[in-house]
């Protein structure tokens, strides 16, 4: 069964824009933090460890799709509920719901791949098949 | 005919993450700047003027959908090509392509609405029908 | 006696730079959040309330002076210890120490003033004498 | 003679806070970009090259001291004027003035050191004496 984790964020003044509400790319930043938090909660080491032991630099994004339902402002505490919705061979879909208590503020799907440095050119990155042991840790 | 504008960005060190590549929410930030740049290039005043004259606080996002094709890093100059793909009654779809010269790095669609402060509660915002004069300025 | 508050931050992946450590301006962002948190903990309303009731838009910075002693990275929990070191007529000095448990990572002093919109030009801002009631709430 | 370089920044909507002005840590981000731009203009390779050839990961900050004189807002073009004010054995002082045409908005001094990964622990960093060839390139 897929696991769901909850990552809590407190909105800072500097996260908000001249309209007084969260500048929307910050929701993507928080979903990204929630994505990594999901893996760490499932027992996967952080990327700075995995890069040393297995060459995995993280799970860069191939695609994001996000809907914004209600704004948030500084001082508020938000909860990002995260799970893996689908595992494919080389990519997986992570689903996030950002809530403020009972209010749903924002919902997003991310398509990600586990990546290593490209063997022919360390400045490029390359997707690898999803490691079976990591998938198993995540209840996939 | 729809207009297309080009907004140039130079990637900073602080835009990049531990993998050495642009942290993806920055692409959303740059598309947002390109969105505003599009309107200003079309002759629409910046939001801080429009809020005084017409109560319009800007064009908050309802939805984004972005595909990431190639990474970028600091010191590189990128070009965001922006146009309005579709005007509906209350929302419009803005389309952005982020290029590094001939390379397409990232492509995104934003669903946005012109918004004012809610008449019953200034802490909320409210979408209004797309102002005909603004649409006309944008070649809509 | 001056009060001290503690504001907790969890470092996100997106807060870190290509060297894998916190990109230093984020320490300023967190001290700013800790500054506002200090006032709210002392019973001062957030700026979005004060601007309506008293015209005060916040406490913009006149000067910062920060020393960086040790780096931090994502996944770590930091604590910002904040107090007002000195109240002058129009400005005050806020002092922050960022710790990771017993380790001191960063220390900073901010010179701030309470500001309103300039009466002659709403696009400019203007410092006011420090409100006595706010100072009293903060144990000044 | 010391060189001075100029780095231009266009302020984005997302760089501004609920007061409608640039959120101050962004000035630090821009000074950091101007610092790197200074070295690249002097002929020093970017850090991602230097880390491969000489192990140098960049010039992390030991201390910053910044004064904020006038605010800026989105759509404005700013110029960061950068030079090295002083070279010591292990650190150097970089001086930045942020202007909007003739207006001086912000002025800052940064104390930086060239750093490598610590030989005993790659998770730590270590300052090295300032490389003579790099200093010479910078007119030091």
pLDDT of B1 reads: 56
Interface confidence (ipTM) of the complex: 0.94
Q: How confident is the model at residue C134 (pLDDT cuts 50, 70, 90)?
A: very high
Sheet of strand A115-118, all strands in order from the earlier edge strand to the far edge? A56-58, A115-118, A121-127
Chain D contact present for C60, CB below 8 A: yes
Which residues in chain C have Cβ-Cβ distances shorter than 8 Å to A32? 12-14
Tokens 């292990």 belong to which residue?
Answer: D90
- How far apart are alpha carbons D25 and A42 in whole angstroms? 34
- Chains with 3 or more CB pairs under 8 A to chain C: A, B, D
Tens of pLDDT along A92-117? Answer: 999 999 999 999 999 999 999 999 99
Chain D contact present for C18, CB below 8 A: yes
C59 within 8 A of C35, measured Cβ to Cβ? yes
| Other C-beta atoms lying within 10 Å of the C-beta of residue A74 | 23
- Which two three-digit tokens encode residue C22? 């916190």
Tens of pLDDT along B44-87? Answer: 998 889 999 999 999 999 999 999 999 999 999 999 999 999 99
Mean pLDDT over residues D114-140, rounded?
A: 91
Q: Is C123 a catalytic residue?
A: no
Q: How confident is the model at residue A5 (pLDDT cuts 50, 70, 90)?
A: very high
Q: Which domain holds residue C107?
A: 4-137
The answer to whether the CB atoms of B14 and D29 lie below 8 A apart is: yes
Q: How confident is the model at residue C8 (pLDDT cuts 50, 70, 90)?
A: very high
Burial string for D44-64 (b: 16+ CB within 10 Å, else e) reads bebbbebbeeeebbbbbbbbb
- C50 min Cα distance to partner chain B (Å): 14
- How far apart are alpha carbons C23 and C30 in whole angstroms? 12
- How far apart are alpha carbons A71 and B121 in whole angstroms? 14
Burial string for D14-24 (b: 16+ CB within 10 Å, else e) reads bbbbbbbbbbb
- How far apart are alpha carbons D95 and D84 in whole angstroms? 6
- How far apart are alpha carbons D128 and D120 in whole angstroms? 15
Tens of pLDDT along C31-40? Answer: 999 999 999 9
Q: What is the 3-state secondary structure (H, E, C) of C36-67?
A: HHHHHHCCCCCHHHHHHHCCEEECCEEEEEEE
| Average pLDDT value for chain D | 95
Q: Which member of B20, B32, B75 has the closest CB to residue D13?
A: B32
Tens of pLDDT along C23-70? Answer: 999 999 999 999 999 999 999 998 889 999 999 999 999 999 999 999
Shortest CA distance to B45 belongs to which of B140, B139, B133?
B133
pLDDT of A140 reads: 77
Which residues in chain A have Cβ-Cβ distances shorter than 8 Å to D23? 13-14
Shortest CA distance to B18 belongs to which of A135, D51, D34?
D51
DSSP letter at B13 equals G
- A134 min Cα distance to partner chain D (Å): 24
- A64 min Cα distance to partner chain B (Å): 5
- Chains with 3 or more CB pairs under 8 A to chain A: B, C, D
Q: Output Rg (C-alpha) for chain C, integer angstroms.
A: 16
- How far apart are alpha carbons C12 and A23 in whole angstroms? 17
Q: Which member of A13, A18, A74 has the closest CB to residue D13?
A: A18
Residue D88's Cβ-count burial label (10 Å; 0-12, 13-18, 19+) is exposed
Chain C contact present for B22, CB below 8 A: no
Shortest CA distance to D61 belongs to which of D83, D98, D24, D31?
D31
- How far apart are alpha carbons C139 and C134 in whole angstroms? 9
The CATH number of whichever domain residue C34 belongs to comes to 3.10.129.10
- How far apart are alpha carbons C42 and C135 in whole angstroms? 10
DSSP letter at D24 equals T
- How far apart are alpha carbons B100 and B70 in whole angstroms? 10
- How far apart are alpha carbons A104 and B125 in whole angstroms? 16
| Other C-beta atoms lying within 10 Å of the C-beta of residue C60 | 17
Alpha-carbon distances, residue C30 vs A31, C140, D52 (angstroms): 19, 23, 32
Chain D contact present for A20, CB below 8 A: yes
- Chains with 3 or more CB pairs under 8 A to chain D: A, B, C
B99 within 8 A of B86, measured Cβ to Cβ? no
Is the pLDDT at B15 greater than 60? The verdict is: yes
For residue C44, report the phi and psi dihedrals to the nearest 5 degrees: -85, 135
| Other C-beta atoms lying within 10 Å of the C-beta of residue C94 | 23
Q: Which member of B24, B25, B57 has the closest CB to residue A19?
A: B57
- Which two three-digit tokens encode residue B119? 């008449």
- B24 min Cα distance to partner chain C (Å): 9
Which residues in chain B have Cβ-Cβ distances shorter than 8 Å to D47? 13
Q: Which residues pair with B109 in a beta bridge?
A: B65, B95
Total tally of structural domains belonging to chain A: 1
């Amino acid at each position: 069964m897929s696991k769901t984790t909850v990552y809590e964020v407190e909105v800072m003044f500097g996260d908000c824009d001249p309209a007084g509400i969260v500048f929307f790319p910050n929701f993507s930043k928080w979903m990204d933090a929630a994505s990594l938090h999901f893996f760490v909660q499932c027992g996967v080491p952080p990327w700075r460890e995995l890069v040393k032991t297995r060459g995995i630099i993280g799970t860069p994004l191939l695609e994001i799709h996000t809907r914004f339902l209600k704004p948030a402002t500084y001082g508020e505490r938000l909860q990002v509920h995260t799970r893996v919705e689908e595992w494919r061979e080389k990519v997986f879909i992570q689903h996030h719901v950002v809530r403020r208590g009972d209010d749903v503020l924002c919902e997003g799907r991310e398509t990600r791949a586990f990546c290593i440095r490209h063997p022919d050119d360390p400045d490029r990155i390359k997707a690898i098949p999803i490691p079976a042991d990591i998938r198993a840790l995540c209840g996939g």
